Chains A and B, each alone.
Chain A
Amino acid sequence: MMKPDISVTLCGIKMANPIVSASGTCGYGRELSQFYDLGVLGAFTVKSLTLEKRLGNPTPRIAECVSGILNSIGIQSQGVRHFLEHDLAFLKQYAVPIIVSISGTRVEDYPKLAGILDLEDGISAIEVNISCPNLEAGGCSFGSDPEIAGRVIELVKSSTKLPVIAKLTPNVSDITAIARSVEKNGADAISMINTLSGMAIDIYTQKPKLGNVFGGLSGPAIKPVAIKMVWDVYRAVRIPIIGMGGVMTWEDAIEFILAGATAVGVGTVLFRDPWVVFEIVDGIRTYLETRGIPGLDDIRGKVKLPVKRNGR
């Protein structure tokens, strides 16, 4: 039987497989590297970097919900300089494309961060986090307005030669409007979705379960929302999508690809099982192999609809 090709190319980044670690769920690589060679991943996305050091939000920062988790970390970060001095060289030892996520509280933070990263070797792309639900200022608010989202991407594009990936929030009424705007302003790819805004209350203490009152929901609970949004955006833009939201298994990854994703992010599942990446990658390969499908291009966006609908 022929060996299927599970490699993908996403805005010029050649990935051995479509599985990307989601920003904020894998730090800067040191912790996962005690479990496996990071080259097992198709690409590694670092936790969002900020210009200055940030302490993040008060604890508790995480609460389990039914088939999901709420988090409000608030981008605890040592800042971009610390990353460049302490972490980038470590990550570069591995044969894995590095995607660097950036986050700001002001629009002008983003081009500044992009400009700093542009001077470095070994970074494959910049992911622009305009969708963090846990920042007091900025974050999600930039990603909720098509005009501001487009403006941030335009500024980042003018500050770097690196491919630029826009990370979108699902907490909007029409995600395709945001997607079209970032594409128009030069985004090379889209990653989606960030967490869904949520809240949980402990009925015994009558207090919110998170120190910051509300947070972002991730995990299998949000997967159908993410699949639908990826499918919508796939038909609305021409740039590739890194689809994510509740991926736990290889079956979930295939589902995202059928909805239109080029690559697939894994995040929350790593908290429970950091080694699951092996099973997901093997499962994707086997799925193609047993069906005689040569590569992922042959199934991308190919969900079989019951009635004829407008294609891409």
Chain B
Amino acid sequence: MESSEEKKRDSSLHITATVVKNAPLCTGHYCLTLKNVLLAKRTQPGQFVNLRIHGRDDLLLRRPFSVATTRPAQSLFEIVYRVVGQGTKTMTELNRGEEVDLIGPLGTGFHLPKEPMNCLLLGGGVGVAPLWGLAAQLFKKKNKIIALLGFRSSDKVFGEEVFRKLRGETIVTTDDGSYGLKGFVSDHLEKVLNRPIDRAYVCGPMPMLKVVLPMIRRANVKGEVSLEERMGCGYGVCLSCVANIAKEGRIEKLRICTEGPVFSIEDVVLDDEA
């Protein structure tokens, strides 16, 4: 029987999705394909879902993952995760047909240019994944894509074909030179920025952001960056995942889960710039 309070409840962000595929992409990285009609339809590039680790009540917090791609026609969406702790390790055991409990879509995603332009997509490591869905949208709106993707080594490279399929010029770097160009993405960014770039979209680890964001600003290229931080709730109540964001001349601590994760590159103030 439905209790009288049930009518006061809105569960539209509380999603049960079915696992369609859970397969390794490269060393330590998995792609999880999930099925849920609402989520596949509603999610914008750069938004995320907060996933409860099935069968692990001892892990109190959900784990946030950017949605990499959506295929609304098939009710499918994908997330890419790197196995780093107990939560993601448990996720590797998810089998086809199992259900996962998630909240989403959450957060503020990327904004597309109003008219077609030259877009640089700059990704590092697992941060390449959220750029997949963005690239698809940019391609659909006739933007030109240049992807600069950095990985640690050849065994960690994934997802470059996504950008190639969208006719994007795709440059891959590895720290040790075992695949593509040798060095960090920042070592090869200057050259790319000398070309006509109108907009930059960035997602990657903090050490990368600390180098590339100032370079992009110096080149007078506008753009957006997706930030990451330890999250508690994922929906804005706990104030754990804040970032320093310049707003009307002052620095505010804004929530990565709500006002972000995507922020304008010119507004983001990284720790050592504060």
**Quick check: is B93 within 8 A (CB to CB) of the other chain?**
no
Rounded to whole angstroms, the CA-CA distance of A268 and B240 in the bound complex is: 12
Contact A35 B3 (CB under 8 A): no
A67-80 interface bits toward B, Cβ cutoff 8 Å, 1 = contact, 0 = none: 11101010010000
User: Chain B's nearest CB lies how many Å from the CB of A53?
Assistant: 10
State whether A272 touches B61 (Cβ < 8 A).
yes
**Closest B residue, CB atoms, query A74:** B239
A272 is contacted by which of B3, B13, B62, B240 (Cβ under 8 Å)?
Answer: B62
Indicate which residue in A56, A71, A273, A281 contacts B232 across the interface (CB closer than 8 Å). A71
Beta-carbon contact of B253 and A271 below 8 Å: no
Chain A contact residues, CB within 8 Å of chain B: 24-27, 30-32, 34-37, 39-40, 47, 55-56, 58-64, 66-69, 71, 73, 76, 219-220, 248, 268, 270-275, 278, 281-282
Bound Cα distance A219, B258 (Å): 23
Asked whether any CB of chain A lies closer than 8 Å to the CB of B73, the reply is no
Contact A62 B253 (CB under 8 A): no
Cβ contact of B242, chosen from A30, A39, A56, A273, cutoff 8 A = A56
Q: Are A59 and B230 in contact (CB under 8 A)?
A: yes
- The 4 A-B residue pairs with the shortest CB-CB distance in the complex, in nearest-first order: A37-B8, A62-B240, A271-B233, A60-B230
Q: Report the bound CA distance from A25 to B240 in whole Å.
A: 11
On chain A, the residues within 8 Å of B5 by CB distance are: 40, 278, 281-282
B15 → A minimal CB distance (Å): 12
Which B residues are CB-close (under 8 A) to A26?
237
Distance of A278 Cα from B230 Cα, bound (Å): 28
Q: Are B241 and A59 in contact (CB under 8 A)?
A: yes
Give CA–CA (A27, B238) in the complex, Å. 7
CB distance from B183 to the nearest CB of A (A): 24
CB-CB < 8 A to B52: which residues of A?
272-273
Chain B hits for A275, CB < 8 A: 9, 11, 14
B237 touches A271 (CB 8 A): yes
Among candidates B9, B13, B232, B240, residue contacting A278 with C-beta atoms closer than 8 Å: B9
For the complex, give the distance between the alpha carbons of A77 and B6 in Å.
33
Instruction: Please name the residue on chain A nearest to B9 by beta carbon.
Output: A36
Which of A61, A71, A76 has the most CB atoms of chain B within a 10 A radius of its CB? A61
Contacts of B240 in A (CB 8 A): 59-62, 71, 73
Q: Add 18 more A-B contacts to A61-B242, A274-B233 (CB < 8 A).
A: A24-B238, A26-B237, A27-B236, A32-B237, A34-B10, A36-B10, A55-B253, A58-B271, A59-B241, A60-B230, A61-B232, A62-B231, A69-B60, A69-B61, A76-B253, A272-B60, A272-B61, A274-B235
**CA A273 – CA B243 in complex, angstroms?**
24
- A66/B238 in contact, CB under 8 A: no
Known: A40-B5, A62-B231, A282-B3. A73 touches B60 (CB 8 A): no
Interface size on B, residues (CB 8 A): 34
CB distance from A215 to the nearest CB of B (A): 10
- Contact status B236-A219, CB under 8 Å: no
B59 close to chain A: CB less than 8 A = yes
Q: Is the CB of B237 within 8 A of A25?
A: yes
B161 within 8 A of A: no
Picked from A24, A34, A39, the residue with its CB within 8 Å of the CB of B13 is A34
Q: A37–B8 Cα gap in the complex (Å)? A: 5
B229 at the interface (CB under 8 A from A): yes
Residue among B3, B11, B58, B238 making CB contact with A73, cutoff 8 Å = B238
| A contact residues around B258 at 8 Å (CB) | 31
| B237 contact from A31, A37, A220, Cβ within 8 A | A31
Kindly state the separation between the CA atoms of A26 and B243 in the bound complex, as whole angstroms: 19
- In the complex, 11 of the A-B residue pairs with CB atoms within 8 angstroms, ordered by the A residue number, are A24-B238, A25-B237, A31-B235, A31-B237, A32-B237, A36-B8, A64-B59, A64-B61, A248-B57, A271-B232, A278-B3
Q: How far is the CA of A194 from the CA of B10 in the complex (A)?
A: 30
Q: Is the CB of B238 within 8 A of A271?
A: yes
Closest-CB distance, B60 to chain A (whole angstroms) = 5
**Least distance between B29 CB and chain A CB atoms (Å):** 19
Write out the residue numbers on chain A whose beta carbons fall within 8 Å of the beta carbon of B237. 25-27, 31-32, 270-271
The verdict on A271 contacting B61 (CB below 8 Å), with A71-B232, A73-B239, A76-B239 known, is yes
Q: Which residues of B contact A35 (CB under 8 A)?
A: 9-11, 13-14
Known A-B contacts A31-B235, A68-B60; the reply to A60 vs B242 at CB < 8 A is no
B6 vs chain A, min Cβ distance (A):
7
Which chain B residue has the least Cβ–Cβ distance from A94? B8
Of B58, B235, B238, the contact of A71 (CB 8 Å cutoff): B238
Q: Are B61 and A61 in contact (CB under 8 A)?
A: no
B58, A62: Cβ atoms closer than 8 Å: no
Provide the bound-state CA to CA distance between A35 and B11, in Å: 6
Residue of B nearest to A37 (CB): B8
Q: What residues of B have a CB within 8 angstroms of the CB of A60 in the complex? A: 229-230, 240
Interface string of B91-135 (1 = CB under 8 A from A): 000000000000000000000000000000000000000000000
Interface centre among B58, B229, B238, B241, by most chain A C-beta atoms within 10 angstroms, is B238
Q: Is the CB of A56 within 8 A of B8?
A: no
Q: Are B8 and A39 in contact (CB under 8 A)?
A: yes
What chain B residues lie within 8 Å of A58 (beta carbons)?
271
Q: B238 near A25 (CB under 8 angstroms)?
A: yes
Q: Are A76 and B231 in contact (CB under 8 A)?
A: no
Contact between A40 and B8, CB atoms less than 8 A apart:
yes
Q: CB distance A59 to B242 under 8 Å? A: yes
CB neighbors of A among B134-168 (8 A): none
Q: How far is the CB of A206 from chain B (nearest CB, A)?
A: 17
